[in-house]
A and B are shown apart, each in its own frame.
Chain A
Amino acid sequence: MKELLMGNEAIALGALAAGVQVVSGYPGTPSSEVLETIAKRNPGHVHVEWSVNEKAGAEVAAGAAYTGARAMVTMKQMGLNVASDPVMCVNYIGVKGGLVVYVADDPGPISSQTEQDTRHFGKYARIPVFDCDSPAQAFQAVQDAFSFSEKHETPVILRSTTRVCHACEDVEIPDSFPGKASAAFEKDPKWVIFPGLSYQNKKKIVRREGEFSAEFSEYAGNTLEGNGPAGIACGGISYAYVKEAIRGLEEHFTVLKVATPYPFPSQLARRFMKQCEKVLVFEELDPYIEDALIYEKGIADEGESFPPVLGKRSGTVPAAGELSAVTVSEIIEKETSVPASIIVPKPEGRPDLPVRPPVLCAGCPHRGSFYAVKQAVQKALKSAAKAGDSAPFTQAVFHGDIGCYTLGNAAPLNMVDTCLCMGAGITMAQGMNHADQTSLNFAFAGDSTFFASGITGAVNAVYNQADMILCILDNSTTAMTGHQPHPGMGVTMMGKRVEPVDIMKVLEGIGVPWIRECDPLDLEGTVSTVTEAIHESGVRAIIFRSPCIALFKPKELCVADLEKCVGCGRCIREIGCPAISPVSPEPGNDGGAPSRRKVRIDPALCTGCGLCAQICPAECIRKEAR
């Protein structure tokens, strides 16, 4: 049966076809749809869970694989950093059932903090890596990865990138998937990691590198196409760009596709290089294949000669960002005698185009939380100045987190001063507080990120006596990555209702001395709670509780009365809601500055949160039932 599948969906169905029994993971773009698809297409016997974070997920999957069951853990490249402790170690122990660590890299980066390359992580950890270049190929690759893992009793990394994860293709899939296989853990000292055992196993891991490399040189996924004089080496989505760029010009090229970057298929690569006059390497992220080819050249036998290798190291291919068929085509024209196949039009004299960075959705409760904190801080600084006191702090610093709250960075809120990695805001606020007592530190975290990696930071703050305000923006979901459930929500990926883990009780249990809860859509009440917190000392925590607007159909909407609107622009200037825009000027009148025009609220976007109504000085905005 043919089905239009996203790369991530194809990987999920490939894993089901391979008989996977346990799938764990933590959401992160561009990886999340794998686990969601497993849950959606679960034949019934597969345990599937969103784990609390990637480390937990990797350990769950490893435990399952020790029993002989096939297991997979899914994450994005940032998550591999979190999971690297168990992933590095499990390679020294090995597995019984196939264990696939699925990691989605994000060239660009489009939705990530770094452009790290998981192929290098695999090489560093000495874990075999399979790469994906299209949904149909990924469907096969995940099955090959499971077979390889089980045959050699080793964990395997399956790597993909955004343009494969989120591309769709018509893929042939089986009508049904295998049922539950038996699995039973057998006790053996080999499952206990000890320095002596690690020494012995390290020798095996190094020894097998050459054997795997030889096996991969024969692997059907690694291919050599054509016999033209110009060599092109590529892997992953770059293979698709190369095919697009040389369409109709194939006779000039020999193309090497590397689908198993580690251990590198050296014999195949040498065969490829020997038949080329020159080699161009097209790959995103790191110059991984390029370095591997240069290494092969470096260890050439006497009398063996290899052509020049050009790529990122030589400055021929851009060092960062995504590649495209156009870039590949342009580089081919520059470096070979083959003309570019793709001509890009250059539209001239276009009028001003929209500048549209991502923003918090209309009605997002985070907007109310950020705005209330901003107001409370400004009030505290103002009243201290008025009273002639020396203010207890000279500025407030706002530490962000990874998720929708990152969008609090955008104008006009400007409420993110630092942002590093998941959960980091809570602990960075402490470090800043210990070094600089003139600033008041606020750390923002989401409900899901609090569970993922915020709890340890909160314990650290209480134990090490930090002075900070922890703001948990609890919208009852993992919103940015597509609304996955988490421990605070009372529902699992198996569809079971469970007792939710209560953030308030967690904070109490940790020993946070001052905890309050508020509704961020009630501006006055929230400002007053934050003001109270500002005047306390030690660790203070505020839970801003209001559900993500994407989870509900709005019942109300706000309407601006144009008779009453004075065109002061305060609503636009203060909160920057995408539903509010200046009304278009009458023909023949430029209408003045957009920020001084009367406003219109887009009924399609407005959710009736009412934040704008609470700040309008002319009281021109009213709520109406939908």
Chain B
Amino acid sequence: MTNAQENNNMIRSCLLCGVGGQGTVLASRIIAAAAMNRGLSARTAETIGMAQRGGSVVSHVRIGHSIASPTIPKGRADVLLGFEPGETAACLDYLKPGGTVIVCKREITPVTAALGLSGYRGESCLEYMLAHTEKCYIIDGDSICEACGSPKVLNVAAAGALCACGEMDLDPEDFREALRQRLKPALLDMNLLAFSLGMEAVQTQE
């Protein structure tokens, strides 16, 4: 193992990919807070501004010690945490060889595709990722949101799935503490449920 590889093993990186409005920013903060609860250092970077208006968005989360860049270099993400199939497939060049993909299965049709200006099918992207990555968990985000009674909990469900896959080396309690720190009390129970259902969604596929 080279020096460079050894040093990089001290850092865990997760790239969140989705569409503006899906809550990737809050999810990245919760992962970072969970890492800090564990005594680790955290860095995040995300797209804010014009691209948030229904455009493609990514959030970078890196945890560990002596992290240099807040953005994850291509080829160095341990996990792709996808909120939408096509947006996840578009970020595959960030995934390290042998890395893990977690992806919510519902497609969000872009206006360009609705207008027939571009071809895109979420299902083809899911099939591609299943065939071309070593570990790929497909999550039914809609049914989790339905069970929790709000479409807004997708991000916390995704965080649960990320925790369960084990790649970030974080404990569920670190996340639950982060949720308690960051969410309004009225929303807490619903989100704790979403987190558990997100975890289950991965555990049942192990």
Contacts and interface: CB of A to CB of B under 8 A. Distances in A.
A168 B45 contact: yes
Contact of A342 (B50, B52, B55, B73): B73
A249 B68 contact: no
Given A247-B8, A355-B120, A325 B71 contact: yes
A192 interface: no
A266 to B, nearest CB: 27
Contacts of A169: 41-43, 70
Interface string A333-376: 00000000111111101111111111111000000000000000
Interface in B184-204: none
Contacts of A111: 49-51
Contacts of A356: 19, 54-56, 87, 110, 112
Interface stretch (A78-86, A145-153, A312-320, A572-580): A572-580
Given A167-B43, A353-B120, A359 B95 contact: no
Interface string A63-107: 000000000000000000000000000000000000000000000
Candidate in B55, B109, B132 with the most chain A CB atoms within 10 angstroms: B109
Contact of B73 (A134, A168, A324, A578): A324
Interface in B69-86: 69-71, 73-76, 84, 86
Interface string A503-528: 00000000000000000000000000
A163 interface: yes
A4 interface: yes
Nearest to A242: B68
Nearest to A480: B50
Given A30-B49, A345-B74, A358-B55, A351 B69 contact: no
Interface residues of B, number: 69
A354 B110 contact: yes
Nearest to B2: A248
A602 to B, nearest CB: 8
A411 B115 contact: yes
Nearest to A249: B4
A248 B4 CA distance: 4
Given A342-B73, A347-B132, A355 B43 contact: no
A276 to B, nearest CB: 21
A163 B128 contact: no
A614 interface: no
Contacts of B114: 572, 576, 580-582, 594-595
Given A4-B29, A247-B68, A411-B117, A29 B73 contact: no
Contacts of A481: 49
Given A358-B55, A407-B53, A352 B124 contact: yes
B90 A354 contact: yes
B36 interface: yes
Nearest to A359: B54
B50 A29 contact: yes
B19 A244 contact: no
Contacts of A134: 70
Given A163-B45, A325-B69, A325-B71, A355 B7 contact: no
A51 B51 CA distance: 25
B118 interface: yes
Nearest to A4: B32
Interface size range on A against B:
35 or more
Nearest to B52: A358
Interface in B37-69: 41-56, 68-69
A170 interface: yes
Contact of A572 (B69, B75, B115): B115
A48 B110 CA distance: 40
Contacts of A412: 115
B32 to A, nearest CB: 5
Contact of B117 (A166, A344, A355, A404): A355
B93 A345 contact: yes
B75 A243 contact: no
Interface in B2-17: 2-8
A110 interface: yes
Given A359-B53, A576-B114, A343 B109 contact: no
Given A353-B90, A356-B110, A248 B5 contact: yes
B113 A355 contact: yes
B48 A354 contact: no
Contacts of B112: 354-357, 411
Given A166-B46, A324-B73, A355 B110 contact: yes
Contacts of A576: 111, 114-115
A167 B73 contact: no
B69 A244 contact: yes
Given A247-B8, A248-B7, A594-B113, A170 B42 contact: yes
Contacts of A361: 21, 53-54
A530 B114 CA distance: 29
Contact of B74 (A249, A344, A581): A344
Contact of B68 (A110, A166, A244, A404): A244
B33 interface: yes
B5 A354 contact: no
A300 interface: no
Interface string B94-119: 01110000000000111111111111
Nearest to B132: A347
A170 B36 contact: yes
A594 B54 contact: no
B71 A324 contact: yes
Contact of A352 (B71, B97, B119): B119
B125 interface: yes
B74 A166 contact: no
A166 B45 CA distance: 6
Contacts of A4: 29, 32-33, 36, 42, 44
A167 B110 CA distance: 27
Given A166-B48, A350-B128, A354-B56, A595 B120 contact: no
A243 B7 CA distance: 12
A329 interface: yes
Interface in A6-39: 29-30
A518 to B, nearest CB: 24
B121 interface: yes
A240 interface: yes
A410 interface: yes
A206 interface: no
A257 B3 CA distance: 23
A353 B70 contact: no
B20 interface: yes
Contacts of A410: 111
Contacts of B111: 359, 410-411, 576-578
A241 interface: yes
Interface of A: 2, 4, 29-30, 110-111, 134, 163, 166-170, 240-241, 243-245, 247-249, 324-326, 329, 341-347, 349-361, 404, 406-407, 410-412, 480-481, 572-573, 576-578, 580-582, 593-595, 604-605
17 contacts: A30-B49, A110-B47, A167-B43, A248-B2, A248-B5, A324-B71, A329-B73, A342-B74, A342-B75, A347-B89, A354-B90, A355-B120, A356-B56, A356-B87, A358-B50, A358-B53, A604-B151
Given A110-B47, A577-B111, A581-B113, 4 more contacts: A167-B70, A247-B68, A572-B114, A572-B115
The 9 closest A-B pairs by CB, nearest first: A248-B4, A248-B3, A243-B68, A167-B70, A29-B49, A351-B124, A111-B49, A354-B86, A581-B109
